[in-house]
Amino acid sequence: MNVIETALPGVLIIEPNVFGDSRGFFLESYQATRYQKLGIDLPFVQDNHSRSARGVLRGLHFQVTKPQGKLVRVVSGEILDVVVDFQPGSETFGRYEAVVLSAENHRQLYVPPGYAHGFAVISESADFLYKCTDYYDPSDEAGIIWNDPLVNVAWPFSEPLLSEKDRHWPTLEQYVESLS
């Protein structure tokens, strides 16, 4: 597999080996020993699958005291996946990494614990699968508003379809102020 390091520490783009012929294809989506050699050594405890329509934006989410590492991929459709460093004091605070994940490119993205994460669907629909290193806890969930002016993510559209909670997350600046 090919591994691409990003500008955010620990965030990796993983291109698995795909073996295909006229019958279809085969790829190994996860193998503990190989991923441990990449530094992805926390145990995965939960797998999630979401389906979303074109224009849906989910995020930017994180858990405060039980941060989740995520290994994400798309098995149908195409998304723009975004990771944001929201940790005050970090050298890359306020910066983001964006990568297109699709059923065609088979790419995966590893998001270590401690980053905000979100995605936008750019195909008709998308099936998004992700492994998590900690359990989802709704009482621990937080987020940064998707269109935060400091982060300034280059989303593929200006009026996404959002959940009610995703409409009301604070800006990065407001979130940091709330920590004091």
Q: What number does CATH give the domain 2-19+27-179?
A: 2.60.120.10
Q: Are 68 and 136 in contact (CB under 8 A)?
A: yes
Q: What is the pLDDT of residue 37?
A: 95
Distances (CA, A) of 69 to 7, 40, 77, 111, 133: 17, 9, 23, 5, 5
- Among the listed residues 35, 61, 110, 175, the single catalytic one is 61
In sequence order, what DSSP letters do the residues of 134-171 get, joined into one string?
S---GGGEEE--TT-TTT----S-SS-B--HHHHSPPP
pLDDT digits 0-9 by tens, 70-129 = 999 999 999 999 999 999 999 999 999 999 999 999 999 999 999 999 999 999 999 999
Listed in sequence order, the DSSP H helices in the chain are 32-37, 164-167, 172-178
Q: What is the pLDDT of residue 95?
A: 98
| Burial class, 59, CB count within 10 angstroms (exposed 0-12 / middle 13-18 / buried 19+) | buried
- Among the listed residues 35, 110, 115, 130, the single catalytic one is 130
pLDDT at 19 over 90: yes
Domain boundaries, the chain: 2-19+27-179
Give the global pTM: 0.95
pLDDT at 180 over 90: no
pLDDT digits 0-9 by tens, 48-78 = 999 999 999 999 999 999 999 999 999 999 9
pLDDT digits 0-9 by tens, 148-161 = 999 999 999 999 99
Is 49 an annotated catalytic residue?
Answer: no
